[in-house]
Amino acid sequence: MSTQQSTQPLAAVPAAQTDEHWIEPLDDGTHVLIRPLRPEDRAREVEFISNLSPETRHFRFLGAIKEVSPALLDHLMEVDYQHKMAFVALVHQDGKLIEVGVSRYAASDAAGQCECAVTVADAWQGRGLGRSLMRHLIDNARRNGFTRMYSVDAAANAQMHELARELGFQCQRDPQDAAQLIHSLAL
């Protein structure tokens, strides 16, 4: 996820946008709630990342992290619903609402472009959740005027490569790091 700040002015966010939500059926017939990330999801985000396998965490952050630092958490929770957006997938488990997936984008310095990422809890992979999260993210990016979305991923992340291909992203090797791929989608 890019840490670069957009220089575009922030428009007022319609209240309905933050209240949007969808109940999505997955490929195996289970359902998840997908909605924009909210400030009250902070503890869920920490728990979600902490429960990812080392491999999934490595693919998400392109490096090894053991725990979420306060600075990283602040960065992940910083959404304005236009230049920085995130959708979470939630389910009820053992009497509480837990996060099982997240997709996000952030505007890059290049006009009209945003960098994206998607992460799905290990137990929820292979059910179509990443596809659902990304479709909401892509639609939102289009509505907010972005013309290109891209992600930088580990070349070893076969699931992400397959998802990107399925969603119509083009793929190329990162010219600065042969161990990474750049997936790009014209919006």
Residue 120 has pLDDT above 60, yes or no: yes
Could you tell me if residue 161 is inside a domain?
A: no
Could you tell me if residue 93 is inside a domain?
A: yes
Summarised one tens digit per residue, pLDDT across range 21-55 is 999 999 999 999 999 999 999 999 999 999 999 99
Could you tell me if residue 180 is inside a domain?
A: no
Q: Over pLDDT 90: what percentage of the chain?
A: 83
The pTM assigned to this predicted structure is 0.88
**Which CATH number fits the domain that encloses residue 37?**
3.40.630.30
- The DSSP symbol for 173 reads E
Summarised one tens digit per residue, pLDDT across range 62-118 is 887 878 899 999 999 999 999 999 999 999 999 999 999 999 999 999 999 999 999
Confirm if 74 and 65 have CB atoms less than 8 A apart.
Answer: no
- The DSSP symbol for 122 reads G
58 exposure class (CB count in 10 Å sphere: 0-12, 13-18, 19+)? middle
Number of domains composing the chain: 1
Could you tell me if residue 173 is inside a domain?
A: no
Could you tell me if residue 40 is inside a domain?
A: yes
H or E segment and range at residue 179: strand 177-186
- Alpha-carbon dihedral angle through residues 146, 180, 157, 35, given to the nearest 10 degrees: -20
Give the range of the structural domain holding residue 135, as residue numbers without chain letter. Answer: 20-110+117-146
Q: How far apart are CA 56 and CA 1, in angstroms?
A: 15
